[in-house]
């Protein structure tokens, strides 16, 4: 009986030893097995709104786009003219209108002035707060305004359709030829940073009692690619 008890004790010891060796091998195997590291996905940084800079470069004339204004009028943007790529063509109500870099109406460039062109191009790439003033030359000595100031007022975001569109806010002031400081014409323009399209235009009216009235004369509510015209027949 004592021998059989000793045998049972040895069997138990050997079993415990074997289990320990087996567990040790399993742990060692886990320690040496390649385990794919768990990498935490860093949250994507939120886009930083640009509050100070101008455009990276002077934009080309927008082409192949159509804007629907709040009034319901549709404006097509057809690139630049063949003789002057920086003179942008806009078509609405079956009439073509030309604007220098979509900012300055062609009629106001007459007689043509390189000074005016350079100033407008410069302000589109200038930081917030920059301004340029230039003379307004006319064919006739009789004119109401003899100079203009164009200023980059701010960078703002306008909602067009369902998309937020960053824009440059520009201030255009025409100065009285008789040097009367209170006599001036003011306008605000918001130029889309991506396309160069004017998204909004306001006329600023100042009254004698110090009041200020802003009248929106142009506001884009939808902006899309202009569908190609299919050839009939």
Strands in 95-100's sheet, in edge-to-edge order, are: 104-105, 95-100, 84-92, 74-81, 63-69, 212-225, 198-206, 184-192, 163-176, 145-160, 131-135
Q: What is the pLDDT of residue 136?
A: 85
* pTM assigned to the model: 0.75
Query: Is 157 within 8 Å of 49 (Cβ atoms)?
Result: yes
The tokens describing 102, both together, are 């979509």
191: number of Cβ within 10 Å: 23
pLDDT at residue 164, as a whole number: 97
pLDDT at 121: 94
CB 22 within 8 A of CB 92: no
At a CB cut-off of 8 Å and minimum separation 6, what does 228 contact? Answer: none
The predicted structure's pLDDT at residue 172: 95
**Three-state SS at 107:** helix
Q: What is the pLDDT of residue 107?
A: 78
pLDDT tens digits, one per residue of 80-93:
999 999 999 999 99
**Which residues, given as ranges, of the chain have pLDDT below 50?**
1-2, 9, 11-13, 17, 19-23, 25-33, 46, 232-233
Report the C-alpha gap between 27 and 3 in whole angstroms: 36
**Measuring CA to CA, which residue among 82, 84, 85 is closest to residue 61?**
85
Please name each of the domains of the chain with its CATH number: 63-225 (2.40.360)
Q: What integer pLDDT is reported at residue 22 of this predicted model? A: 46
């Amino acid at each position: 009986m004592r021998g059989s008890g000793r045998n049972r004790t040895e069997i138990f010891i050997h079993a415990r030893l074997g289990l320990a060796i087996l567990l040790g091998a399993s742990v060692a195997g886990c320690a040496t097995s390649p385990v794919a590291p768990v990498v935490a996905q860093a949250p994507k940084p939120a886009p930083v709104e640009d509050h100070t800079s101008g455009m990276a470069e002077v934009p080309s004339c927008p082409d192949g786009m159509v804007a629907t204004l709040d009034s319901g009028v549709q404006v097509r943007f057809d690139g630049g003219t063949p003789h002057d790529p920086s003179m942008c063509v806009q078509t609405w109500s079956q009439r073509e209108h030309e604007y220098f870099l979509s900012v300055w109406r062609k009629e106001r460039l007459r007689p043509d002035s390189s000074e005016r062109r350079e100033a407008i191009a410069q302000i589109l790439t200038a930081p917030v707060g920059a301004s340029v003033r230039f003379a307004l030359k006319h064919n006739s000595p009789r004119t109401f305004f003899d100079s203009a100031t164009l200023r980059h007022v701010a960078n703002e975001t306008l909602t067009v359709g369902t998309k937020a569109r960053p824009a440059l806010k520009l201030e255009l002031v025409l100065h009285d030829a008789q040097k009367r400081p209170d006599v001036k014409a003011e306008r605000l323009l918001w130029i889309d940073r991506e396309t160069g399209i004017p998204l909004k235009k306001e006329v600023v009216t100042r009254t004698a009692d110090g009041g200020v009235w802003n009248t929106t004369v142009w506001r884009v509510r939808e902006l899309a690619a202009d569908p190609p015209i299919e050839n009939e027949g």
